[in-house]
Structure 1
Amino acid sequence: MIVSPPSATFEAARREGLPSGSRLQSTQLSNGLQVLAAEVPEARRLRLVGAVGVGYLDEPMAYRGLAHLLEHALFLGSDAFPGESELSQWVGHLGGRYNASTDETTTDVHLHLPPGAAEEGLARLVDLLCRPLLVPERIEHEVGVLDAEYRARLADPALHRLAALGRLYRPGHPARACHAGNQVTLGQDAGRLVDQLHDFHRRHYRPERMALVMLGPLPLENQLELLKRQGHEIHAAAASPSSYECWGRTSRWGEPSGVAWCLPQRLASSSPTSTLELLWPLPEGLARAHPEWLAALAARLADGSLASTLQTSFGLEALDVSLSSKGVGQALGIRLGLAELKPHHGDDTASLSTLLATLLATCHAALDRALQQRLPRPPRVTSDLDDWPRRQALRLVTHAQHPEAVYTMPPRAAFATWLTRGQCRWLWHCPSPRESIGDIAWKTLEETGTRYCRLSLSPPLQVSALPPRAAPRIASEPSPSTAWHSMPGCLQHDRHLALWWGWPTWPTDEPEASWCLGWPADPTGHVLRLAHWQRRCLALRQAAAAHDLTLMTGSDHRGDWLLAWGDPSRLPSVVEQALGQWSTTRRDDSPAMSHPATGLIAQRLLCELETSPIPGATGSTTPHSGIAKPTPTLLCWARGSLDAEAARQQAHRFAGLLPNEPPWHTEPPVSSERETIWLTPQGTDQAVMLDIAGRDDTPRSRFLLQLVAQCHDAAFQHAMRQRHGFGYVAAVRYREAAGWPRLGYVVQSPHASVETVRLAIDDFLQDQGVSLAPLESTDFSQRLGRLAASQARPETRLEGILRIWQALRHRQLRAIAPEADDASWQVPPWEEEQEVLAALVASDLTALADALVVASLPRRWWLHAPQ
């Protein structure tokens, strides 16, 4: 058994970006299984991940989609838990969630559960992974589900990107083919298919190719004990070693070149947006040997300088640098999101080939400069606790399959032959074939309908790179010479400025502070305005990250806001520049950006719950008392290692950067209760969502709607998928729009008509909407307790700052501001929420369900049908 030294547990957790006070330890069991435990004292939920080092490049070409089908089949019953929907019902009852994914070389299953469910959750996860039943009748039905999923994803640009990317690979390599899986690729013989699944599982689901990761508040020692006990249940003898190595893991790349692609004709978009990806493939062993050097190189390319350079001549919306873009294996990648592929000024008749060549030359020059410069230290790791266990599990199984190679050459010299212009491949997503270069003929991939053409800028065009520009300068201001202290509270409140200062404090080794600013703005154009603002702040956001600063910008029906967090001496510079970009955005007369639809139609519908006007909203019913004060032009909250007097001075500076005009009315826009909205067609599926809003935006309404979603989700999914057979997408999801609670009952179907699905949703609510809500007192108390745990103290500092900030925005705009001289903080929002939860009773949930069924709550239908 290999165990990390206990003395390293705190340091390892810090390096991996876990919150202060966390502990981390990994172990390899005698059967070869890798396990990792992370104790995060502030974690409200338990995260469990099981990963296997097998993906779609390992499956036989005669059964493309087999790895994906096996991932689905894992959830159809196992030895100890044979029920077909047993896991989903158990997780739903606990108020948790689960998901799984299959990638090129890895498969993972992840569960989010209450901490008390650790032992049973781990037992279910291990049984699911290692002892699936693979019942033929269930498998045959799941092939139909997979086929529906495949057809739905034919409307997703992500699938067409992978199809086009394959044109850069060697002929015959499995990565060139589509591995999503459907009725055709998985064959017509159900018996042989099940045999293939059993064989694939025996070959690859072996303990030495697997990893289990747990993150939660449980003590590290308890987590390790659970992981070891369940991990030893995976018997190495039960799995036969693989008799072959899939050549899909060998080098996939053809000769360096470029490929342009666009969506099938039926999905063609008039949007001018495009994406250009530059890729430099890297040897797997070399990349794993020097991860910190590569991370530093990526940080240099994303420090704001390249973004500033490109934005002088192009409508650059996004610039991402990664070391593992989806579908490319190990490679350095630069992804450019472009509002339109034409210059801002100058010669508008420049050919597309010239524009592409300029973009490529500028990125190549930036890489050349980075390789010559002294690289910065890798950026500070800030981990998303939801994603962290999954990334760790995938890392463990990947490393387990590849013994570490020893490279004696320094990394700069070792990568010199790989990070050159001659080794670059590029992929351009253009809006339509009409944007083609010259007379190059477009081709169509038969299976997916993806249109593509191979491009080569040879003989090389004599195009120069754009002159490099420096990243936005983040100035540092000296701390005030005299300290002036004040108790946390409201330092000022008038019609121009409301300034809150102080609280909460967290233990930290370094000075850190945060500024949150919000101001009223036109609620009808907030989505487009935010997109423009984020585009203008792209280089600033990257420059801030290079200084370990966080900059977030937001906009909703209450107004616009920003958050800056990090070194207190540099925050004023970041805030002032972000406000300057917002002021420029208000005067921006550029055409509205129209982005092509991405993802599943159901995902698009659920996103509408967070951005569209609330159906039938009439304002908050929160009771207030006191003397009303006008809404201020600027609301500020400063906290951390920041002097109160300095905060006051800086807040006045910030207020002077905003226009002095009457604030906008900030109530959410009201729309008719029975409104029906049709989405712009995307693909061939039908989709329907019933959007139901709470009566108000109080914590009570938010919690009751969350409980309704928990009660309805599993039954709704079963009714729509199994009983009606509509397709693989059917769910009840809770969302919020500017704090306003909303439920979405969403179904996506490849064959049922919109009206059929709509009637089925109505029938479900009439038949089961109320009957599912009355809970036994014990069950209700348990659900309430789990909801209370999920709403408890913040898990991370950033979450805590955001929760307090949004509560302050809500109170400032809705409630009565206290007088400055006696103002103090009320209880934290999470403590207030706990009081609301403690007051709920089972009859409250029944009453809300009844109101939902009789349609007394605001509602709206969202519909989608093919062209």
Structure 2
Amino acid sequence: MAGVEQAIQSQSTIHGVRTHLLHVPHLREAHVSIALQVGYLDEPSDHPGLAHLLEHVLMTSPMACHEDVDLISFIQGCHGRINANTEDRVTDFHASVPISLLDVALNAMARQLAQPQLALDTIANEVKVIDAEFHARQNTAQMQRLGGLRALSRPGHSASCCHHGNATTLMASVDLLHDELMGFHQRYYCQPRLTVGILSSLPEAEMQHLAEKVAHYFLVDNAVPQVAPVRSAWGIRRYHSLTAGLTAMEWLWPADTWPATSASYLSSFAHYLDQGGLLGMLPPEVKDYRVELAPQGASDTLQLICHGRRLNVSDEDILSDALAQQWRMFNHKIPPPMLSIWQHFPSLAAPWWHWVRQQAVVERLLPSVSSDTSPVFCRSQLRCLAWRPSTARPSCTPSKVKSSPTDHRPAPVKQWVGRYGVEVDASELIEQQWLACYLPAAQVSLPPLTRQQLACQGVVLYEKHIQTGASLLLMGASEQVATACAGLFDAMQYLPYETPGILAQRLISSLYRRPHIPAVWCPDAPPASALLRMLQRGYGQRHSGVPCRISSRCPGDKSGELAVMVIISLPATPANRYLAAFAERQQAGEFLHQVRHQHQLGYVAAIRRDDAVPFIRIGYVVQSSQHSGQVLMTALGDIITRLWEATFEVLDDQSTLLQADAVINTPETPIGALDLQWLQLLGGGEIPLHRLITPWPPSEHDIKALKATVQRTDEREYRFLSSEI
């Protein structure tokens, strides 16, 4: 993974479209983004949710050039992944596809997004999907926050209204909705609003040629000729309180307080602040903070979220002065290349898509930023959301880990020692040390400002929830990692643990098999005994929380939400591991289409795979409020059978199969390489799928054995989770 010094090439096409290109030689996948400077604040006032609906319909309506195939299924057929996102001032469609199919996939994306045929039945179905999403998200923290932003907006501005969309706001006839969608599309999906981002191993000249082809599709006659300057949405009200399960303050500096500079330089400044640039300058009550440019729902702001008790709005003077002071220090410096920063992510895809989306919206805002002589980040324009815990329910207060050896009997700790060949994936790891820690059924609270302090010491902290517990991964020089681990585990606290997410996500968590005791992985020597003792004591005092009550029996006909998962288990042979990964990619798009549109079972549908030993498990999950468990079981069984029939048709015609490296994900960063190896160890294996040596295409014997296993429908496992169980 050498060559992280490459810079992003930002330029304009012959059509005036903004492009961002980044050449990374080792990539096997390309990550692309087509972003448009239009969002839900641009939609007509009588149809809130129209921009969101258009995004859905463009993804799921049959493509003009491929009859009965939508964009999701087409990209999945290219062994890629695609998603989309509608925000206040930008809508983006982003995908990852094998390099060999980038031209085909990007051409199909551009044609569908620029010249769509919007099917009436698809529009009707997606209104139902959006309505289901609206009701499922109504009481979430995300929707509360958007409500708070509306309260701070100027009366009469479109930002003061809810734009999610539901069956009520989109209740017009399907024919009328079709006309509204086409009119909205023709006005806004055009070259002046287009940004194209391509990250791949192709030469820059070839990527620029692909971007030119994308831009050509968006040349339309009756589009809005220019993007008008953004009119500020903020009203005279500067503060709003929200009730949630956390204590935090969210400060927002609008675009007219920003310094006059480029979008990419502002992005670098925000990252500098987020990675420790504000240490020593914040109120002592701050336990953690995040900085983001153009955050969701408030893209015309720089966001600072501070977590901690006893924070209040009077801290705004301290914070505004801190940002202005740090800007004076940062200004005119040469920031590190974004690619070197993104090496701390498990994949380059997510930060790249986020960066391109950020550039698209900030470029739209730049005409409204302050001049060089104006005070930057001044407090007079600052807006604030105050998050306060509800008094109706107890807050998740951390439990301090005590050092008394008599607290609990120490739990055993599973240990792995060795490098397991990760240097093959990332040569940078030859000089690095790391420690990975897994805590089953646990949620942790790290010491104050841990992430920022470690970043200043050159230690990367990658923290995530991996369906069944908490995972921490530290990487850096040997001395720094050892010191960081000692301080981290000594001061770590535990929160009450509950499986997060909606019913379907909780059900998916039961698919993955992980150790039932804490686990650690070090590269060269066992972890220090003192560290293990701290981990044992802390884990013994964790809060297990309320268990997720999953049943293997179909519930009766009761009201409420119900999630169903069908599991197919396969012996973890090398051939089956490849074939399971192939099937997951090949079936995902069609499974979503079958569940949502053909059978209309619900809007939540997903396929997940647990690449563990001794059995691989593939889970097919649906969540619905409209159907009984028996109906879902029967429909899922039929859908799964048809999906596998289609998969075997593809496998039997081996002349059409892609190379193995187009099917299997490979790590793109050092953290990504460590994360894949760590998950493989936790699953009971040692060799990640991308380093597995096995013949491809698969042999006739391997395919025949897989058919025999899949066709034994009586061996499929069913799991249920509902609000009634």
Tell me the TM-score range normalised by the shorter chain: 0.7 to 0.9
Q: Residue 198 of structure 1: SS of its match in structure 2?
A: helix
How many Å apart are 1:543 and its aligned residue?
0.4
Q: Does 1:250 align with 2:229?
A: no
The CA deviation at 1:572 is: 3.0
Report if aligned partners of 2:324, 2:376 keep a CA contact under 8 Å in 1.
no
Q: Return the alpha-carbon distance in structure 1 between the equivalents of residues 269 and 627 of structure 2.
A: 53
Q: 1:280 aligns with which of 237, 240, 252?
A: 252
- 1:186 CA displacement: 1.9
Compute the displacement of 1:326 (Å): 1.9
1:355-434 equivalences under 5 Å are: 356=310, 358=311, 365=318, 368=321, 381-382=341-342, 384-404=347-367, 409=372, 413-418=375-380, 423-428=382-387, 430-431=389-390
Q: For the residues of structure 1 that align with 2:289 and 2:366, how far apart are their CA atoms?
A: 33
Provide TM-score, normalisation by structure 1.
0.68
Work out whether residues 322 and 333 of structure 1, in 8 Å CA contact, stay in contact via their aligned partners in 2.
yes
In structure 2, the CA distance between the partners of 1:678 and 1:658, relative to structure 1 (3 Å rule), is farther
1:207 Cα offset (Å): 0.3
Tell me what 1:593 maps to.
496
Matched, 1:310 2:285: yes
Distance 1:774 1:234, change over 3 A: same
Corresponding position of 1:688: 564
**What is the match of residue 352 of structure 1?**
none
> Which residue number corresponds to residue 851 of structure 1?
709
Within the candidate set 453, 476, 480, 1:570 is matched to: 480
2: CA distance, partners of 1:716 / 1:753? 19
Q: Residues 185 and 832 (structure 1 numbering): CA distance in 2 closer, same or farther, change over 3 Å?
A: closer
Determine whether 1:637 maps to 2:495: no
Instruction: Kindly indicate whether the alpha-carbon contact (under 8 Å) linking 1:72 and 1:142 is maintained by their aligned counterparts in 2.
Output: yes
Q: How far is 1:734 from its partner? A: 2.6
Identity of aligned residues (%): 24
1:152, distance to aligned residue in structure 2 (A): 2.9
Of residues 50, 56, 64 in structure 2, which corresponds to 1:66? Answer: 50
Matched, 1:795 2:713: no
What is residue 449 of structure 2 aligned with on the other side?
539
- 1:538 Cα shift? 5.2
- Choose which of 83, 86, 90 in structure 1 pairs with 2:74: 90
Number of aligned residue pairs: 680
Alignment map for 1:420-499 (pairs within 5 Å): 423-428=382-387, 430-431=389-390, 498=417
The Cα of 1:433 is off from its aligned counterpart by 5.1
SS of the residue aligned with 1:836?
coil
Distance 1:398 1:755, change over 3 A: same
Q: How does 1:499-578 map to 2 (within 5 A)?
A: 504=423, 513-517=431-435, 526-528=440-442, 531-532=443-444, 535-537=445-447, 539-552=449-462, 563-568=473-478, 570-578=480-488
Residues 777, 842 of structure 1: 8 Å contact kept: no
Which structure: larger Rg? 1
Instruction: Give the structure 2 partner of residue 217 of structure 1.
Output: 201
Q: Find the aligned partners of 1:559 and 1:866 in 2 and give their Cα distance.
A: 25
- Name the SS for the 1:414 alignment partner: coil
Matching residue's letter, 1:382: W
Q: Hey, what's the Cα distance between the residues in 2 that align with 1:209 and 1:724? A: 37
* Cα distance change, pair 396–759 in 1 and its aligned pair in 2 (3 A): same
1:508-555 deviations in whole A, cap 9, x for unaligned?
Answer: 9x9983223368x8xxx6131xx22xx134533320112342023579
Determine whether 1:55 maps to 2:15. no
Greater displacement, 835-844 / 65-74: 835-844
The 1:275/1:324 distance shift into structure 2, 3 A limit, reads farther
Give the letter aligned to residue 732 of structure 1. Answer: I
Equivalent residue of 2:218, what SS? coil
Taking the aligned partners of 1:653 and 1:136, their CA distance within structure 2 comes to 61
1:573 and 1:32 map into 2 onto residues whose CA distance is 52
Distance 1:79 1:692 in 2: 32
Q: How does 1:764-775 map to 2 (within 5 A)?
A: 764-765=639-640, 767-768=641-642, 770-775=644-649
Give the drift of 1:194.
1.9
- What CA distance in whole angstroms lies between the structure 1 residues aligned with 2:57 and 2:352? 23
Offset of residue 849 of structure 1? 4.7
**3-state SS of paired residue (2:26):** coil
Deviation at 1:45, TM superposition (A): 1.0
Gaps of 5+ in 1: 1-16, 263-272, 339-354, 437-494, 615-630, 639-650, 665-670, 816-827
Distance 2:518 2:143 in 1: 47
Cα separation, partners in 2 of 1:325 and 1:609, compared to 1, 3 Å: farther
Q: Amino acid of the residue matched to residue 451 of structure 2?
A: R
Deviation per CA, 1:284-335: give whole Å up to 9, x if none: 472563725555444446648859x437xxxx6x532333332123334343
Q: Where do residues 19-418 of structure 1 align in structure 2 (5 Å cutoff)?
A: 20=4, 22=6, 24-77=8-61, 80-81=64-65, 83-154=67-138, 156-237=140-221, 239-241=223-225, 249-261=231-243, 273-284=245-256, 286=258, 289=261, 291=266, 292-300=268-276, 303=279, 309-310=284-285, 319-336=289-306, 356=310, 358=311, 365=318, 368=321, 381-382=341-342, 384-404=347-367, 409=372, 413-418=375-380
- TM-aligned CA distance change 1:723 to 1:173, over 3 Å: same
Cα distance in 1, alignment partners of residues 574 and 448 from structure 2: 34
Q: Tell me the amino acid that sits aligned with residue 546 of structure 1.
A: C
The one-letter code of the counterpart of 1:844 is D
Specify whether residues 74 and 597 from structure 1 end up closer, same or farther in structure 2 by C-alpha distance, changes over 3 A only: same
Q: Which amino acid counterpart does residue 427 of structure 1 have in structure 2?
A: A
TM-superposed CA distance for 1:185, in Å, is 0.7
Go from structure 1 to structure 2 and tell me whether the alpha carbon gap of 1:227 and 1:844 turns closer, same or farther (over 3 Å shift): same
Q: Distance in 1 between matches of 2:259 and 2:305?
A: 19
Is the contact made by 2:660 and 2:696 (CA closer than 8 Å) also made in structure 1? no
Q: Decide which moves more: 111-120 or 223-232.
A: 223-232
Residue of structure 2 equivalent to 1:747: 622
Instruction: Tell whether 2:532 aligns with 1:658.
Output: yes
Q: CA deviation at 1:569?
A: 5.1
Q: Deviations over 1:160-183 (max 9, x none)?
A: 331243222233332222211122
Query: Whole-Å Cα distance in 2 between the matches of residues 497 and 118 of structure 1?
Result: 39
In the TM superposition, what is the alpha-carbon distance from 1:87 to its structure 2 partner?
2.6
Consecutive unaligned residues in structure 2, runs of 5 or more: 396-413, 540-546
Distance in 2, Cα, partners of 1:505 & 1:190: 55
Q: CA deviation at 1:202?
A: 1.6
AA in 1 matched with 2:602: G
Q: CA deviation at 1:576?
A: 3.0
Post-superposition offset of 1:735: 4.3
Measure, in 2, the Cα distance between the counterparts of 1:153 and 1:632.
Answer: 34
CA contact (8 A) 1:282 1:418 kept: no
Per the normalisation by structure 2, the TM-score is: 0.80
Q: What whole-Å deviation, never above 9, does each CA across 1:346-394 have from its counterpart, x for those lacking one?
A: xxxxxxxxx64x4555686566566557857868622541124423432
SS of equivalent residue, structure 2 residue 248: strand
Please give the root-mean-square deviation of Cα atoms over the aligned residues, in Å: 4.5
1:694-739 CA distances to partner (integer Å, 9 max, x unpaired)?
Answer: 444x654433322332344344333322232223222323345799
